[in-house]
Amino acid sequence: MDPATLFVVVLVIVTALAFDFTNGFHDTANAMATSIATGALKPRTAVIAAGTLNLVGAFLSTEVAKTISGGIINEQEVTISAAFVLAGLVGAIIWNLLTWLAGLPSSSSHALFGGLVGAVIVGAGVQGVNFGAVVGKVLIPALISPVIAGFVSFVAVKLIYLIVRKLDESVVIGGFRHGQTVTACLVALSHGTNDAQKTMGIITLTLVSTGLQPSGSSPYLWVVLICGLAIALGTYTGGWRVIRTLGKGLTDIQTPQGFAAECSSAATILVSSHLGFPLSTTQVCSGSIIGTGLGRGTAVNWATAGRMLVAWLVTFPAAGVVGAAACALARLGVGGVVATLVLAVVAALAILRLANRDPVNAGNVNDVESKKSAGAVAPAVQA
């Protein structure tokens, strides 16, 4: 391998780990938002537990990684260069940061797939994308999984309140608060089995496309390790803006609801990981939370839910457009790759500067959102 190609491969791996980090802090809310909102776990304790269990979960399965490295892109029919993969990662990272700034729990998974598909179409043509796999293993699960998780949590909440209706409310809340410490950790573990693998798949795809790894093989152990560490570190930093939206912006959550939402989310994610479906854990957890609100009969903030739905619909094509633009520049050679990364870093720093104007952190994550906050919520409507 010539030095220029090796240099680009190294840049891709570093960029992939940067995406993995943003995936972690963007999706911390999936595991811990309800537990933080109900007081079952303190914010800092929650993110430490989530980071640790994401790392453990990364070692439990590689089915999702195989889907990405050998299913979404037709690397055997067209030449997929490392620069294309890097461009797709840039599209995903920028979209992750933008939705984090807005406090929107959008899908890091769809951002990744959208960015990658957009980059490959520009770099290798439409024949470089396996659209059958995109529809069957990405888009259809994206439509079905939040509905299933929402329905399961709806039924679970109905049953829970039916069973405990004669018990003292303080006893119920206290008991389920302890239960949430277990279910929240289970969601974090399941998140690691699904989301950490997406970056493993991207790095494996890069190694395969450059001849450094046989096609169809599983991720190397060192790839699993660094991806697990990156997503764990990102999770530990806590995506507090998104945590606030999921924990406080959709519905008023009590501990029985949080318990039900986390159980249904974990079950849905673990089954999908076993089947190799790289679904959006964000959509699953959001659907579960809405289902608990409907099941309990409390107010659901449909304005916030609507904003989230728009973000879900826009994520894939928006990240695809950024990935395509990045690929148009990156394919010019090493200079184009470096220029793409420089522009991405400048954009990321600008987003972080905007976020610092109205910070959300462990100390104020459970506060009522201000009007100037990017994640501000309209008045709730009774479900």
Average pLDDT of the residues of the chain: 81
Q: Is residue 249 part of a domain?
A: yes
Tell the residue number behind the tokens 């406080």, with chain if given.
248
On whether residue 329 sits in a domain, the answer given is yes
Residue 381 phi/psi, 5-degree rounding, is: -115, 135
Q: Is pLDDT above 70 for 46? A: yes
Say if CB 306 and CB 290 are below 8 A apart: no
- Predicted confidence band at 68 (pLDDT cuts at 50, 70, 90)? low
Is 382 inside a domain boundary?
Answer: no
- Tell me the pLDDT band of 378, cut-offs 50, 70 and 90: very low
Using 50, 70 and 90 to split pLDDT, how confident is the model at 226? very high
- In terms of pLDDT, which residue wins out, 135 or 368? 135
Residues 6+ away with beta carbon under 8 Å from 152: 264, 267, 268, 288, 291
Band of the pLDDT at 326, cuts 50, 70, 90? very high
Cα 356 from Cα 372, distance rounded (Å):
13
Domain membership flag for residue 377: no
Range of the domain at 118: 3-366
Can you give the pLDDT at residue 374?
A: 38
What's residue 381's pLDDT? Answer: 33
CA nearest neighbour of 146 among 22, 326, 347, 311: 311
Q: Which of 11-15, 100-104, 143-147, 184-188 is predicted most confidently?
A: 11-15
Number of domains in the chain: 1
CA-based nearest residue to 365, from 149, 136, 123, 42: 42
Distance CA(304)–CA(291), nearest Å, equals 15
Of the listed ranges 68-77, 125-134, 348-357, the least confidently predicted one is: 68-77
| Residue 127: inside a domain | yes
Question: Is residue 381 assigned to a domain?
Answer: no
Q: Is residue 247 part of a domain?
A: yes
Residue 151 confidence (pLDDT)? 92
The model's pTM is 0.77
Is 350's pLDDT higher than 90? yes
Residues 259-273 pLDDT 10s: 888 888 888 888 877
Non-local (6+) Cβ contacts of 376 within 8 A are 369, 370
Q: Is 378 a member of any domain?
A: no
